[in-house]
Structure 1
Amino acid sequence: MNARILLLLCLPAAAQAQGFAGLGGAAEGFALPERGRALSFPADHGAHPAFRIEWWYVTANLETPDGTPYGLQWTLFRSALAPRDTRGWDSPQLWLGHAAVTSAETHHYTQRLARGGIGQAGVEPAPFEAWIDDWRMAGPDFDDLTLSASGPEFSYEVTLDAQGPLVRHGEAGFSVKSAEGQASHYYSQPFFTARGTLHLPEGPVEVSGSAWFDHEWSSQPLSDRQTGWDWFSLSFESGAKLMGFQLREAEAAGYSYASWIAPDGALTPYVEAFEAEPLETVDLDGIEVPVRWAVRLPQEGVAVEVEALNAGAWNALSPPYWEGPVTVSGSHVGEGYLEMTGYE
């Protein structure tokens, strides 16, 4: 969603106690999302250094020619210690990259950390390029991109081709995250086709499939009572798509939102209508994590079971969270990705 994972290593200790990974921390001095602000492209594909938190996020459901499924993750996070962007080592912009490849049997993941202001990481809107060290998402425009990352046990190179429009979540890209009104600017490109090569310990694997891109920025996307989220991006055989999340609170019912995306990209927003109920958990590093869910959006006739391809898709990074491909069965059939944070 996403109100995504940010930077335990880079956020002040005082902020870490508020919301997940400091996302509910105070935002004094930083810009805040504005209801009614129109997103503008290609400029808004780039970075927004006046905001405290930002991420560019790709997940992909892939398979080999014989039908063996894989999942892929590529993420670039930006966190600001101050609302300015300067060159040199005094830049307050901090960067984090996460990458992973998941199969039914294995889950490989890694991360990179970088400072802003010295060229080690950044994002340029046109022509689009997002990078950290030698990891890249880049292309002549946002409809035609290449994606690459590498770690100790894997690497990949994938091409992404847009087959539909950008989707603006919430109110034209203004995405509310709590009853108190915390919000972000949030859009997706859920219509990428993907093709490329995974380099794994067992050798190179040719894959193709679909990918989902999220870009989100804010300064305080969670309230101080919210402890984490469960975020689903689901693609159905009908061509429709569903993005839904629930933000959990320790002492009260959480907040939920869903975007129903028609095959032509038309979006219908639903506030407090998305339902996700855990059906099965597994123990990962001593933490009980749901890996099978009942997901419902009654207004669109959705009543599905969402199940992890690999229950062990735990990213023991900074901070730790679960992220992996899922299968969908029930009223709608398909596949997608699930992210879960704040479980302890």
Structure 2
Amino acid sequence: MRHLRTLLAGVLVALLAFGAWRAWYPPAGQDQADKGASEGYAGLGTAAEGYAEARPGGRLAFPADHGPHPDFRIEWWYLTANLTDAAGRPFGIQWTLFRQALAPPGTLDEGADSPWTTRQLWMAHAAVSTPTGHRYAERFARGMAVPDARGQAGVTAAPFAAWLDDWRLAATDGADTGLDHLDVSAGGDDFGYRLRLDAEGPLAIHGDHGFSRKSADGQGSIYYSQPFYRVAGTLTVDGDPVAVSGRAWLDREWSSQLLGPDQSGWDWFSLHFDDGAKLMAFRLRGAGEAGGDYLSGSWIAADGTVTPLDDDALRLTPLSRTSVAGRELPTAWRVEVPGHDLAVTVQAIQPDQWMGTAFAYWEGMVSVTPVDATSPSARHGVGYLEMTGY
């Protein structure tokens, strides 16, 4: 009977989680027009009354901001890594923990007498891309309202740790209050990984001291990254271990209204160049000036200096599309930052890096090649591309 109760409780939690996340993301393939323009992609354009708001003029505070911000509606800890084995073959991994608030602060009694009384739900995604395939898995969990109890999922700032079950991203020695040295592990039925991350540069603070504007209307998020990780460890695919090394990028972002009401999704790039520079860039489709797309990004020099890029300083142009999971996705792009003499082609290393999770999207490793290989400023590189709302 005890095992039956445990199973039923698990099913209930999964259903509650699924229902809440369906309110955030529409089912794959659902016509956005049927949901109404006010909802936008992923429900992230809906009004957010009662939640904390991301605003310009603030300042990030570490290590506290490495931890959760429960009064904001949505938040994530998002790690991607470009890796190679001893033969130079490309591999990629993703580790992501999402937090979703179900109700604004003060609308639920979150007393410690009931661990079920919580506003927070958690979702985690893990993936491995190989030269021949793409594997992924996802998990859901409910927050716990019991003080000093380690729930099924959560994040602590000092020492830093983020987890859902045994999927874990945490300070290597269990005491580091920053993000400089982390271990990450996760896996599914047919894949897994254990990697060590060591930062070789500073955090990159995006936008206006961390406020990243997401539309011409002015709403946005708080956003920073650690793009300077060196990585080493082991991937396991179908029971076969592979030693890998490479570079990784960790994004931290939280908001209560990430998109404008007319925006349908985004195309987001994190690129590592061979001269040590980095580029974060995104295109939010719709709700720019005169109804166009909204572009923004950051140029991150090899020494960590961040230069914000507005719409006029950045060009993201789809070049070709591939049919993936019944959708036509732009898997080749031209990316230009004229102020830094950058003109490159960004190409999916493997087009079918589809995350066919409950809330589907494309996330995968890309190669970076110069448009003009003879230019003195020609850059090569690797990175990750995320595409949502297609």
Q: Which amino acid aligns with 1:81?
A: L
Q: Which amino acid aligns with 1:134?
A: D
Q: Deviations over 1:182-230 (max 9, x none)?
A: 1100000000111111010160011001100000000001001000110
| Distance in 2 separating the partners of 1:13 and 1:292 | 31
* Identity rate, percent: 53
Say which of 170, 174, 177 aligns to 1:138: 170
Say which of 193, 196, 201 aligns to 1:156: 193
Q: Which amino acid aligns with 1:208?
A: S
State the TM-score, normalizing by the size of structure 1: 0.94
Partner residue in 1 for 2:333: 293
Matched residue of 2:265: which SS?
A: strand
| Contact persistence 1:49–1:83 (CA under 8 A) | no
The Cα of 1:9 is off from its aligned counterpart by 4.3
Matched residue of 1:220: which SS?
A: coil
The Cα of 1:161 is off from its aligned counterpart by 0.6
| Contact persistence 2:232–2:246 (CA under 8 A) | yes
The Cα of 1:51 is off from its aligned counterpart by 0.2
Matched residue of 1:10: which SS?
A: helix
Partner residue in 2 for 1:338: 385
Partner residue in 2 for 1:220: 257
Q: Deviations over 1:72-115 (max 9, x none)?
A: 00000000012349451110101000010002210000100010
Partner residue in 1 for 2:131: 104
| Contact persistence 1:103–1:309 (CA under 8 A) | no
State the TM-score, normalizing by the size of structure 2: 0.83
> Does 2:343 match 1:303?
yes
Say which of 77, 102, 105 aligns to 1:81: 102
> Does 2:286 match 1:249?
yes
Q: Which amino acid aligns with 1:41?
A: F
| Distance in 1 separating the partners of 2:337 and 2:55 | 28
Flag the 1:303–1:15 CA change in 2: closer, same or farther, 3 A. closer
Gaps of 5+ in 2: 1-16, 27-34, 146-150, 371-377
Say which of 348, 352, 370 aligns to 1:312: 352
| Contact persistence 1:143–1:161 (CA under 8 A) | yes
| Contact persistence 1:30–1:83 (CA under 8 A) | yes
| Distance in 2 separating the partners of 1:180 and 1:249 | 11
Q: Which amino acid aligns with 2:294?
A: Y
Larger radius of gyration: 2
Matched residue of 2:285: which SS?
A: strand
Partner residue in 2 for 1:52: 73
Matched residue of 1:238: which SS?
A: coil
Q: Deviations over 1:124-148 (max 9, x none)?
A: 0000000001100011322111000
Say which of 23, 40, 44 aligns to 2:44: 23
Q: Which amino acid aligns with 2:383?
A: G
Partner residue in 1 for 2:120: 93
CA RMSD of aligned residues (A): 1.7
Q: Which amino acid aligns with 1:48?
A: H
Flag the 1:102–1:12 CA change in 2: closer, same or farther, 3 A. closer
Partner residue in 2 for 1:3: none
Matched residue of 1:109: which SS?
A: strand
Say which of 304, 318, 322 aligns to 1:278: 318
Flag the 1:21–1:257 CA change in 2: closer, same or farther, 3 A. same
Of stretches 196-205 and 171-180 in structure 1, the one that deviates more from structure 2 is: 196-205
| Contact persistence 1:246–1:274 (CA under 8 A) | no
Partner residue in 1 for 2:306: 267
| Contact persistence 1:15–1:25 (CA under 8 A) | no
| Contact persistence 1:8–1:319 (CA under 8 A) | no
| Contact persistence 1:82–1:92 (CA under 8 A) | yes
Partner residue in 1 for 2:20: 10
| Contact persistence 2:99–2:121 (CA under 8 A) | yes
Partner residue in 1 for 2:62: 41
The Cα of 1:318 is off from its aligned counterpart by 2.4
Matched residue of 2:339: which SS?
A: helix
Q: Deviations over 1:128-183 (max 9, x none)?
A: 00000110001132211100001111111111111110110001101000000011
Structure having the higher helix fraction is 2
Of stretches 92-101 and 245-254 in structure 1, the one that deviates more from structure 2 is: 245-254
Matched residue of 2:42: which SS?
A: helix
Partner residue in 2 for 1:234: 271
| Contact persistence 1:228–1:342 (CA under 8 A) | yes
Flag the 1:8–1:217 CA change in 2: closer, same or farther, 3 A. farther
| Contact persistence 2:25–2:41 (CA under 8 A) | no
Of stretches 236-245 and 9-18 in structure 1, the one that deviates more from structure 2 is: 9-18
